[in-house]
Structure 1
Amino acid sequence: MGKRRRAGRPKTRPALWGAVIAVAVGGAGVTAWTLGGDDPGDGKPPIPTGPPTAAEVTKVGGAFLTAWARGNTAAAAALTDDAPAARAALTGFTRDAKVSAVTLTPGVRKGARLPFAVKATVTHARKGKPLDYGSALDLVRRPVDGKVLVGWRPSVVHPELRTGDRLVTGESGTPPIKAVDRSGDELTAEKYPSLRGVLDSLRERYGKKAGGTAGIELRIVRARPADAPARTADGKAQGKEEVPDKTLLTLAEGVPGTLRTTISPRAQAAAERETAKRKGASVVLLKPSTGEVLAVANSRPEGFNTAFQGSLAPGSTMKIVSAALLLEKDLASTDKKHPCPKYSSYGGWKFQNLEKFQIKNGTFRASFASSCNTAFISQSKKLKDDDLTQVSSEVFGLGRNDWAVGVPTFDGAVPVQRDAPKAASLIGQGGVRANPLNMASVIATAKTGRFTQPYLVSPEADGRKLATAPRTMEQDAQSQLRELLRYTATSGSAADAMSGLGADVGAKTGSAEVDGQKKPNGWFTAWRGDVAGAAVVQEGGRGGKSAGPLVAKLLKSAG
């Protein structure tokens, strides 16, 4: 028997819906249990369990979308497992994002997921534009009573929203910028996909300083958690993924200001091309003499910027820093005999070389060039727990959390450790963490003997102060380290990759074991003339074969 309508009440129909929603809303509910079976004994039906059925997904998902499209945020929120959060987000969709005339069209259900398309209009200050995108609902069963609800998460409203983010339409918080390369040509995400996030970060930091005027935009305003680490003068949170605000729709163009960067168009184009050929690759090129960043690229340009913000064990490329430590402490010398046994134990761990090789009666030059792990592990007992941390910080500028590159970066971490982790840190494992930007800077410091902080935007653009290291490397140690790196590039583990790049070269290979990975991450860092580079290929295996050819090609293209 149908329900009686009150007199005078207008009849409403979900006219925006296709047949899927019309059937779901009008159809009968489906229980999630079968008749018969054990009787709980209290006269109450058993609580449904298991994943939502197809009918439940369609019915509840359709009801949620219908309520949302009609602007009934309270009803829509009540169909979720977090009504307060859902109601706030859906209310903000209309009030803050200024979205109206919403049409929500369900797609083809896949299990408990119901994708849907959004078509709407964004209007502000008499300016309006259509908005069109897709999202999805995930339906869940509430354990306490078996009721099927929409599993609430911010990405229901827009797929790029995270917890705490907001959609806002209005005058943009920062004017647009026209970022240009070192030649004065505009940098765009269409031309250089790896720079998409970098350009967003540059706008966020320099939009108000570059002389432009703001436009009217729909944008995602990112959450700034209260428990986030303190930001430096460069506006970054050290060691955490930093995501800039993002423009989704421009209703009225602002006037961009111009911001010059240090990017080399030739080097950036080559970096984009070479990383696109590989899976899980990230690379940075810079000038050792000045610290200017010439190129930055990742195989997944739409993803996390591992090249600048990654926090990965750098493997044997860290032996550049460890070698500087041993040379300064007179625990090694280029052509003096140095142990490289198959195994070396420290702190209860037994370390070995790749394929258990050994060098009998060899020199430190031979051990470094062949990347002998035990040559470093064997010296652990002669080092203080904080020795590696100090040389990393005081000479190479790592782990000080003070780099002011112009965009968010992670500045490396070399924590003080004891026992076996202390030994592992010497070969770039343990608690040591870095990214290609850090390791390109490390080999640049080895080449010049002094730390010069990398940067993407000149400090003259905003008067910020670049980071410095407390001291330079001891001259004799730096001379020997340069020779070790040159020999590795010409006659050691990096020779194949560096072949044909000339005499003024230096390089170090590396691989880093990662729990849960079948193959280690491959690392490589090198210089050629006044260009240094570093790359990681995640799950790439040996660095000389995976990351080495990538770095070598870019050094050649930039030369």
Structure 2
Amino acid sequence: MRDAAPPTMRRARRTLSATVTLAVACTTLTGCFEEPSPHDAVRDFLVGWQTEDYELAAGRTDGDQATVRKALSDAKLELDAASFRFKIKSVTVDGDASKADFRAEVDLGENNPLWEYDGVLPLHLVDGSWKVRWSPSVLHPQLKDGERFAVDITPNPRQPVVDRSGEPLQTDTVLYVAGVYPAQLGDRAEEVVARLSELTDYAQDRLLSRIRSSPPDKFVPLVTFWRTRYQALQSKLGAIPGIKVVPQDQPVNPDAPRQIVGSVSALTPETEQKLGGPQRAGDSVGKSGLQQAYQNYLTGSTETKVITLDLKTGEEAAQLKEWPGRQNVSVKTTLDRGMQTAAEQAVADSDTSSLVVVDKNTGEIRAVATKGMHQEKDALAGKFPAGTAFSVVAADALLKAGVSPKQRLDCPAERTVGGAKFAHAGQTTTGTGGVGGAAGTFQENFAKGCVTALASLARRVKADDLKKSAEAFGVGRQWRLPLKSFSGSFPSLDGDADKAKAIAGQTVQVSPLGMALVGAAVASGTWRPPVLVTEPTSPDPAAETVPRAQPDPVPMDPKVRAALTKMMRAGALGTPAQAGRAPVYGVTATAGNQLTWFVGWQGDLAVAVLSKNYNAGAVAGGFFSALRTSS
């Protein structure tokens, strides 16, 4: 894996280490020769070339000093090289002739591999002093008179983020790429980059080196503009001689879910410096969501060739090295466009809602829709009180502890458990049919979310068992998702009061995503971690073959699941979420601060809805209804 530091820092470190390597090599060789020795000439030439002390290097050759200095300086520009590094392999002497074999490593920047090649320095005695016999082949064995280096770059356009059927989740937007054809500039290259730099803040030396390192007849992209920025600068760009502007269609305008797909911007001097990756002018850069998380896959890297050019014809004379580059690829998600549309319709009438839809059998995220909330920060990564929606998880522990769904429980307006006070926000009653009515069952109180009845069961379950059930339903588990997400947090429990608060969801924090997975676990009988992207397997190309392991699925106790399924069917009856042909299962809950939850499923789709000042069950029902209508 290449150094992730900014390019300027990376280049500085490489130059320093190169100097040390060369110094060690030269020290090793110093004692091998009696004076006069070619060693000093070899050392000074390579050190001078490496450190850009071209006067020192030229002084150790027999060539015209100005010619040698220019050739060494031009080589760096022609390769757009960040640094050179050399190591002496051997020095042999045969009378008044000598030969030094060396290894060269050239950092071409732009996230390309180091270019490594073997070179030879022929030396001879001139008036008793060893000199490098100058010719272009000193720079590279295949470089001849009348030729120069060049770097031929072939970039690939940005690839799209796609849904599970392979359809793009963004539309094309026209970007404007300003660049030049080097052969058409003549001697105006420095003037052109100076004026372009003034407009864009790109460093003149970087723009100039890109021009000089490219084949003369090939378009060299220098700066990318979005429409608004281009329109503001269009007349000024048109006034710069040699600048050509090429429109490019790139898939950068996100469709729903927009905040999950993410936004894209044109490459700027700041982002280029910060990323230090394969990006070049003409590229776009992911700013958020999956576009940012998978930037290096969507942009990929360019095909790069080091070549020599005939100075007279401008044609390629020889290819010295080629890197195909990592091909950029689409990012395939688990999102479903039809379900996303239904989810968007479902939240539209609310002021503040978040809806997450997952496949109950796989944990794959099918849709994420919000109104007045953020799809990533709130729906996936939000930290909200679970409220009585946590009774789904608590019921797992209570049923395992032997509490029967038919057990009678009072539902008073207020209750104290272990010193902690609880108030039921619904109808003040001792039962289910009104004041003075018969006590309702555990299933009935679960269905209507009676917090005082549920809290009273704290004495019937151990703290460790509540914790185990929370973990089994993914609360606090370390799953792997390319975007920020929150799996939940469960507190330490020291007594009945703590247990009652946990059962009531007052001290448990969850996200809509986490609760959708809870619903999916009951629906399928197995908790599974979430999945959002199926290809590539990891956002980090370096870790692509060794992604962090997902937590293992956790099966439910079949008897507990059967009982809990009936309880959640009762929870959905009489709520707006019962829409549709197939039965709806779920629970509508409150979490304080005007927050309501619906957690449940219909068919193969599990949902979690969090709403403020709105009926979460109505949002879930709207989703199921919209999905049925569209199918």
TM-score where L is the length of structure 2:
0.49
- 1:480-491 residue pairs with structure 2 within 5 A? 480-490=563-573
Tell me, in whole angstroms, the C-alpha distance in 2 between the residues paired with 1:212 and 1:442: 37
Aligned with 1:476: secondary structure?
helix
Following TM superposition, by how much is the alpha carbon of 1:310 offset from its aligned partner in structure 2, in angstroms? 0.2
- 1:146-225 residue pairs with structure 2 within 5 A? 188-190=253-255, 192-197=257-262, 200-209=288-297, 212-213=300-301
1:407 to 471, 474, 483: 483
Residue matched to 1:29: none
Aligned with 2:572: secondary structure?
helix
Matched, 1:368 2:440: no
- 1:128-527 residue pairs with structure 2 within 5 A? 128=223, 188-190=253-255, 192-197=257-262, 200-209=288-297, 212-213=300-301, 256-300=328-372, 305-330=377-402, 332-353=403-424, 354-359=426-431, 360-393=438-471, 395-400=472-477, 402-419=478-495, 420-430=497-507, 432-458=508-534, 461-462=537-538, 464=547, 467-468=550-551, 471-490=554-573, 495-514=574-593, 520-527=594-601
Following TM superposition, by how much is the alpha carbon of 1:257 offset from its aligned partner in structure 2, in angstroms? 2.1
Q: More helix per residue: 1 or 2?
A: 2
1:538 to 590, 608, 612: 612
Tell me, in whole angstroms, the C-alpha distance in 2 between the residues paired with 1:269 and 1:346: 45
User: How many residue pairs get matched?
Assistant: 343
Q: What's the C-alpha RMSD, in Å, of the aligned pairs?
A: 3.5
Gaps of 5+ in 2: 1-192, 208-221, 230-249, 264-285, 304-325, 432-437, 539-544
Q: More strand per residue: 1 or 2?
A: 2
Following TM superposition, by how much is the alpha carbon of 1:335 offset from its aligned partner in structure 2, in angstroms? 2.8
User: Could you tell me whether the CA contact under 8 Å between 1:497 and 1:552 is conserved in 2?
Assistant: no
Aligned with 1:318: secondary structure?
helix
Deviations 1:457-507 (A, max 9, x none): 1277345355335742222111100111112223xxxx3312332344211
User: Could you tell me whether the CA contact under 8 Å between 1:526 and 1:534 is conserved in 2?
Assistant: yes
Tell me, in whole angstroms, the C-alpha distance in 2 between the residues paired with 1:327 and 1:446: 14
Tell me, in whole angstroms, the C-alpha distance in 1 between the residues paired with 2:374 and 2:465: 39
Deviations 1:269-314 (A, max 9, x none): 2223433443221111010011111011222476862000000002
Following TM superposition, by how much is the alpha carbon of 1:365 offset from its aligned partner in structure 2, in angstroms? 2.0
Change (3 A) 1:338 1:101: farther
Which contiguous aligned blocks of 4+ residues in structure 1 show a shift greater than 6 angstroms?
99-102, 130-134
Aligned with 1:305: secondary structure?
helix
What amino acid does structure 2 have at the position aligned with 1:522? Answer: T
User: Could you tell me whether the CA contact under 8 Å between 2:444 and 2:570 is conserved in 1?
Assistant: no
Tell me, in whole angstroms, the C-alpha distance in 2 between the residues paired with 1:436 and 1:549: 16
Aligned with 1:295: secondary structure?
strand
Gaps of 5+ in 1: 1-98, 103-118, 135-177, 179-185, 216-253, 515-519
What amino acid does structure 2 have at the position aligned with 1:497? Answer: P
User: Could you tell me whether the CA contact under 8 Å between 1:290 and 1:452 is conserved in 2?
Assistant: yes
Aligned with 1:534: secondary structure?
strand
Q: Over alpha carbons, which structure has the higher Rg?
A: 2
Tell me, in whole angstroms, the C-alpha distance in 1 between the residues paired with 2:506 and 2:531: 27
Tell me, in whole angstroms, the C-alpha distance in 2 between the residues paired with 1:357 and 1:469: 43
User: Could you tell me whether the CA contact under 8 Å between 1:528 and 1:555 is conserved in 2?
Assistant: no
Tell me, in whole angstroms, the C-alpha distance in 1 between the residues paired with 2:623 and 2:490: 24
Sequence identity percentage: 26
Change (3 A) 1:368 1:459: farther
Residue matched to 2:172: none
1:528 to 587, 602, 624: 602
Deviations 1:84-117 (A, max 9, x none): xxxxxxxxxxxxxxx9999xxxxxxxxxxxxxxx
